[in-house]
Structure 1
Amino acid sequence: MALDAICLTAVLEELRKVLEGGRIDKVYQPSRDEIVLAVRGAGANVKLLLSASPNGPRLHLTKEVRENPAQPPMFCMLLRKHLTGARFLRLEQPELERIVLLRLESTDELGDKVLRTLVLEAMGRRANLILLDGEDRIIDCVRRVEGDVATGQRGVIPGLFYRFPDPRPGLPPLLERELDFRSNGVSRGESLAEKLERLKEAMGPEGYVPYGLVREDKLVDFTFLPILQYGPDTGLRRYESFSKLLDDFYASRATAEKVGQRGADLQKAVTRVRDRVARRVAQQELEREATKDRERKRELGDILTSNLYALSKGMGTVRLTDYYDPEGREADIPLDPLLTPQQNAAKYYKEYNKAKTAEVVLGEQIEKGKRELEYLDSVLEAIVLAEGERDLAEIRQELTDTGYLRRGAKAAKRMKVAAKPMEFRSTAGLRISVGKNNTQNDLLTAKQAGKGDLWLHTQKIHGSHVILWTEGRTPDAGSIEEAAKLAAWFSQARDGKKVPVDYTPVKYVKKPAGAKPGMVVYTTYQTAYVDPDGELAKRLRVK
């Protein structure tokens, strides 16, 4: 959700108490669209973020640490010149508009008091940050816009007087849907004033309250009143302030976007390697298929050896009786005219022996390639399961250690703190651990689990290693079934039915010498056929 005009009103109501009367100590511009003002307020020093990013225009107090460029951008230098030491007079907002005017009192080069205004237009892709002088003339802005008289588009460039964009009063879709839900559709035909009255009633005596909308323990939206339209699948998390809510929401979204992009980049790199290995294996299989013709090479060598008297050097082909043919027909045998009859026969024997050796070598290479494909498929599955940058870093480290990725200068050191496997608790109270990548799978199976703990894995299907910690007791059938369902859910068979899941005590699970991460063999196992259950995974997950 973007920061709508009403939520912006709530944010400003909160900020006025902190900012008005405070002074700007420092100005930073960590990115093209973001300005951070360090403010000395009444009794507290705070950082005010103003973002003109099209993906999340907003303003709020922030505690997030942002890295600043070594060389401040020109707009940052301009703001430092005009706003360092400036005092906040007031924060203004045109009614029901996503626009904020920070009215400031500053000092010019002569030491005289002057007025300055920093305008945030928090309007999606048209978002902008604009600095005005005391006469509301534009000094500069983050995004310069050339005006167009023909279309009526306003200009936003230095030297012009600032004017507001065309008003677009209205409620955001989330609030429209909420009023529609609460009124059983009655609000659809009401005026804006009537809808605003309904909102006041919905807010109650507390007024604006910062709420985060939560699904699967993740912030998915924010608002200023309880949202009921989504039912029990979406929870409400009340925050101490709107600034804290917005800081958390956009930080988590930025992290998710960053992880998503890095996950996509990593997936692309692994897929590229996997496709290359698959092409190599396919070519080797074609070559091995060609070696199955080797027996005919030996037969032709035998026929030539038996008829050396009929051959002479310089012949390009010869027709001889094929005594390997059940009907005794003649066969045309190609010859190399530069070779003697004996050399031509020896050539066919050599090709036969070469094909025989090639079949063995190719068979070994194909098996090695198939194991490599299995490993890369398991890595792709692990990328899907990654829940954060730490999980992806582990996968990246694993691929570097196994030689699939080159080690960069910054990757020389291993991460000191490893990511943790997913943790669950069965209905009967037994702990269940699920590895999210091969590093975690190896750690769980080979180092952490005891010999009597239960190991589970989908049969011949890529997926996570699952450990049911028995605590020295015989696990109940319900816990085994739940652990099997988790193994099915965290595998490539997630969308299947009656997925076979093998389970056995850890003592029967071995890692072959030289095997790639996550690869094991096991014996003396049982198989359960279960349906993957995502709801069970949510319910049993330990946070």
Structure 2
Amino acid sequence: MPLDAICLRAVLHELRPQLIGARIDKVQQPARDQIVLLLRGNLRLLLNAGANQPRIQLTNILRDNPAQPPMFCMLLRKHLVGARVLSIEQPDLERMVILTLQCTDEFGEISRKQLVLECMGRRSNLVLLDAQGRIVECLRRVDADLSATRQLLPGLFYHLPTPLDKLSLLSQEEDSLALAQRGGDAEQAVDKWVLDHYTGISPLIAREFAFRAGHETDVRFGALNDAQRGALVQEFSDTANAVKEDNYMPVILYRDGKPVDFTYRSIAQYGAETQVETRESFSQMLDEFYDARERQELSARRGRELTHAVTVARDRMARKAENLKHDYAATQKRDEFRLRGDLITANLYRMKSGEKVLHAENYYEDGCPTIDIPLDPLLSPQQNAAKNYKQYNKLKTAEFHLREQIEKAENERAYLESVLQELSQAETEQEFNEIRRELQETNYLKKSSGGKKELKRAFAPRTFKTSSGLEVLVGRSNVQNDQLTKKADKRDYWFHTQHIHGSHVILRCAGLTPSGDDLREAAMLAAYFSQAKESSGVPVDYCPVKFVKKPAGARPGMVTYDNYRTLYVTPEEGLAKKLFLR
């Protein structure tokens, strides 16, 4: 759900004691819509102006930053590094946050600036204002072509959005309660009516009002008796009091093991299929709710270009392999041309130049049946025989080369399938950059020419520990898969899903003999980081590293192995998270 105004007020109430007076040490922009302010005291304040998940919160999630910071990030660093937070305000019950900051400019003079976060769906934005209220810069510039009523451009004075013509439980409590007592038309749904007449209330809370009053989320006013109408008014009154007294409770809703919604109060409208859980803080709740979907969204955005390029190359290689197989099938009929040459040679004594067909007895078959052999009338009988022998030899030679080409095309297709699998599990910008470099080295992407040389950062594999304490390393890319296997101790164990694309997994034994549980947990990780992640009974081959070989000239990640055993395991996300070392 989007962060509604009352829930935003609850978040700000939680943040004020921690942020007021805090100093900004660093400014980061890990994604296009995200700004992270690193505050003294090891606090990380996230300002997200994305259309699907606008919010402000303290976060414990470490996000990768691009090698080159965007221009907006560099501008914020210039103005905000060293600034102190003076206040955090929310205009009435609007989905907006105004951070007032005490800054020091390049001349050492103290001034005030404001950072405004607008959490308004697709119109969400982040705006930096100077002391006079002029716009210094904004995350998304809005010109007259985008909005005829409200432009957001550097140099213009900033104006708050025009408030909606709705009642506020905070500033218009008496009018709000009076309207609730009158209610709506008999055929009007209670939750829709609440959304149409009150600001700051989300669809979830509107349905909760309807449910607590009429015991159904879609109840209409005509179905409410006097007691139920009184209960509806009481819901408005209780909510208004809770907002005025800043009495909130972080609540997150789970269904099928996944977070589906969150709010600031208890929820009773759902049945047993939805679990209602509370958290210690709103920031913890927001991290938990948005973590998985944010990673999926970032991965999809970062990997879209690479996935398209690899998919096109894979499909092209698949078509090439099919065409080669078709040509190879044609070479299996080459004996027909040799037969024609033999029969023409055997009947030269009765052939004449200019004939189009030779009716000859096939003495290679029982009964010597007569067959028709097409001839080129422009060639002599001897030349027709030579033509058929030449075609036979051509197809014989082609068979050998086509077999090699088919094997090469199949290997390339398999390699590209493995790259797609790595892309599907990549999460950080480093992982995507590593895969991009790999594709450039294998000539599937053009290398960037000129410009600033790209900074290569240390790129560590995923690290886990088994229940008994043995370390497990999981490769993040085909290149890293090769590096893991090459650098591993020959006594360590290597794991990979059988005939299924996935990461190489190394169980580091340190000279010890791994237990059955160690082997099963490492095999489970190999299955989890493969194309069979959602399957059960996945076959995983394992063997000592000394039996894993890299063929000369093979693509990254391609190896051969022998002396192996096979375990059948079912990937478990919970166990993978339990074993993961952050």
TM-score scaled by structure 2?
0.67
Q: Which residue of 1 aligns with 2:238?
A: 197
8 Å CA contact 1:435–1:441 kept in 2: the answer is yes
Q: CA deviation at 1:54?
A: 4.0
How has the CA–CA distance of structure 1 residues 122 and 272 changed in structure 2, closer, same or farther, with 3 Å as cutoff?
same
Q: Which residue of 1 aligns with 2:357?
A: 317
Q: Distance in 1 between matches of 2:531 and 2:10?
A: 46
Structure 1 counterpart of 2:408, from 364, 368, 373: 368
Query: 501-510 or 480-489, which moves further after superposition?
Result: 480-489
- 2:347 maps to amino acid: N
- 1:382 matches 2:411: no
Q: Distance in 1 between matches of 2:337 and 2:371?
A: 13
Structure 1 counterpart of 2:340, from 288, 293, 300: 300
Structure 2 counterpart of 1:392, from 429, 432, 445: 432
- 1:475 maps to amino acid: P
Q: Distance in 2 between matches of 1:411 and 1:144?
A: 35
Q: How does 1:213-224 map to 2 (within 5 A)?
A: none
Q: CA deviation at 1:325?
A: 2.9
Structure 2 counterpart of 1:481, from 488, 498, 520: 520
Q: Distance in 2 between matches of 1:91 and 1:308?
A: 104
Q: CA deviation at 1:67?
A: 3.0
- 1:93 maps to amino acid: P
Q: What secondary structure does 2:70 align onto?
A: coil
Q: Which residue of 2 aligns with 1:77?
A: none
How has the CA–CA distance of structure 1 residues 525 and 176 changed in structure 2, closer, same or farther, with 3 Å as cutoff?
farther
Structure 1 counterpart of 2:391, from 324, 341, 351: 351
How has the CA–CA distance of structure 1 residues 529 and 6 changed in structure 2, closer, same or farther, with 3 Å as cutoff?
same
- 1:504 matches 2:543: yes
Q: CA deviation at 1:200?
A: 6.5
Q: Distance in 2 between matches of 1:525 and 1:33?
A: 48
Q: Distance in 2 between matches of 1:317 and 1:255?
A: 71
Any stretches of 5+ residues in structure 1 without a counterpart? 22-30, 38-42, 73-79, 81-87, 104-116, 132-140, 148-153
8 Å CA contact 1:2–1:57 kept in 2: the answer is yes
TM-score scaled by structure 1?
0.71
- 1:472 matches 2:475: no
Q: CA deviation at 1:329?
A: 1.7
How has the CA–CA distance of structure 1 residues 412 and 20 changed in structure 2, closer, same or farther, with 3 Å as cutoff?
closer
Per-residue CA deviations over 1:344-384 (Å, capped at 9, x if unaligned) read 10110000010011111101110111111111111111111
How has the CA–CA distance of structure 1 residues 255 and 146 changed in structure 2, closer, same or farther, with 3 Å as cutoff?
closer
8 Å CA contact 1:211–1:238 kept in 2: the answer is no
How has the CA–CA distance of structure 1 residues 286 and 272 changed in structure 2, closer, same or farther, with 3 Å as cutoff?
same
- 2:238 maps to amino acid: E
8 Å CA contact 2:472–2:505 kept in 1: the answer is yes
Over aligned residues, Cα RMSD in angstroms?
Answer: 5.4
Q: What secondary structure does 2:318 align onto?
A: helix
- 1:524 maps to amino acid: N
Q: What secondary structure does 2:581 align onto?
A: coil
Query: 433-442 or 356-365, which moves further after superposition?
Result: 433-442
Q: Distance in 2 between matches of 1:233 and 1:423?
A: 33
Structure 2 counterpart of 1:273, from 313, 329, 333: 313
Q: How does 1:413-452 map to 2 (within 5 A)?
A: 413=453, 415-447=455-487, 449-452=488-491
How has the CA–CA distance of structure 1 residues 475 and 102 changed in structure 2, closer, same or farther, with 3 Å as cutoff?
closer
Identity %: 45
Q: Which residue of 1 aligns with 2:380?
A: 340
Q: CA deviation at 1:501?
A: 1.3
Q: What secondary structure does 2:71 align onto?
A: coil
How has the CA–CA distance of structure 1 residues 51 and 293 changed in structure 2, closer, same or farther, with 3 Å as cutoff?
closer
Q: Which residue of 2 aligns with 1:521?
A: 560
Query: 161-170 or 515-524, which moves further after superposition?
Result: 161-170
- 2:554 maps to amino acid: A
Query: 507-516 or 10-19, which moves further after superposition?
Result: 10-19
Per-residue CA deviations over 1:280-322 (Å, capped at 9, x if unaligned) read 0000000000111101110110000111122222222221222
Q: What secondary structure does 1:443 align onto?
A: helix
How has the CA–CA distance of structure 1 residues 196 and 505 changed in structure 2, closer, same or farther, with 3 Å as cutoff?
farther
Q: Which residue of 2 aligns with 1:287?
A: 327
Q: Which residue of 2 aligns with 1:9?
A: 9
Any stretches of 5+ residues in structure 2 without a counterpart? 22-30, 80-85, 101-113, 129-140, 167-197, 220-227
